[in-house]
Amino acid sequence: MIFRAFMTLVVLLATPNMALAHGSVVGAGNFYNGLLHPLFVPAHFLLLSALSLLLAQQPLHNNKTHFMVFIITVVIGLSCAWFAIGKDPEILLLASTAVVGVLVVLKPKLSVWLGASIAACVGLMVGLDSKQADLSGLAKFTVFCGSGIGITLFIVYPFAILQSFKVDTVDRFHWLDIAIRVLGSWAAACALLVLALSVASYFS
């Protein structure tokens, strides 16, 4: 029942061509709207959540490289978005969510460079999809600064929470491992549903 309600909510929020796809909180200010931007865009929310889950499954010593590459590519993506370089990567975001979600379910041990490559692709795409065409000057810069911090925190905080639950006793950690893989499957399923809706709306 909870799963069906969750799926329905995500599909409704991520319906293609929705007017509030890049919405904002009235009165929150440019910085905080940028900070919360990943929560306003379902494709960002799903992909960043899936990546955080995947990184939480990897050896801790590899994640320093993963996070460093992710932050660099987010900055590159936001820089391209500032100059409106590149097309809307929403379909790629959803397809990537499906792939990363499946990887979470399979729980592979990624090499440090493969993990960094996945993090780089995600960071670049989310940054590129954070355009603010209606703003300019200082307001646009403030939003982009907030977006960069928000995107980074959206990866770091869930990862840190999951790491805090990891203990040496395998029996106590077993439930968390299952929960992470279930969440990964939900992210993949939601992304595939929205992709199907996008294809259906394209041909309708």
Query: pLDDT tens across 129-167, in order?
Result: 887 767 678 888 888 899 999 999 999 988 888 887 765
The model's pLDDT over 39-74, given as tens digits with 9 standing for 90+, comes to 888 889 999 999 999 999 888 888 889 999 999 999
Q: Break the chain into its structural domains and give their ranges.
A: 29-203
Q: What pTM did the predictor assign? A: 0.79
Identity at 182, one-letter amino acid code: V
State the pLDDT at residue 32. Answer: 82
Q: Is the dihedral of CA 157, 160, 164, 166 positive or negative?
A: positive
Q: Which residues contact 140 (CB under 8 A, 6 or more apart)?
A: 82, 132
CA distance 198 to 194: 6
Q: Residue 168 — very low, low, confident or very high, per pLDDT cuts 50/70/90?
A: very low
Of 28-32, 58-62, 101-105, the least confident: 28-32
* Angle 190-193-197 from CA coordinates, rounded to 5°: 140
Q: Count other C-beta atoms under 10 Å from residue 171's C-beta.
A: 7
CA gap 71, 65 in Å, rounded:
10
* 5/28: higher pLDDT: 28
Contacts (Cβ under 8 Å, ≥6 apart) of 195? 91, 94, 95, 98
The radius of gyration of the chain's CA atoms, rounded to the nearest angstrom, is 17
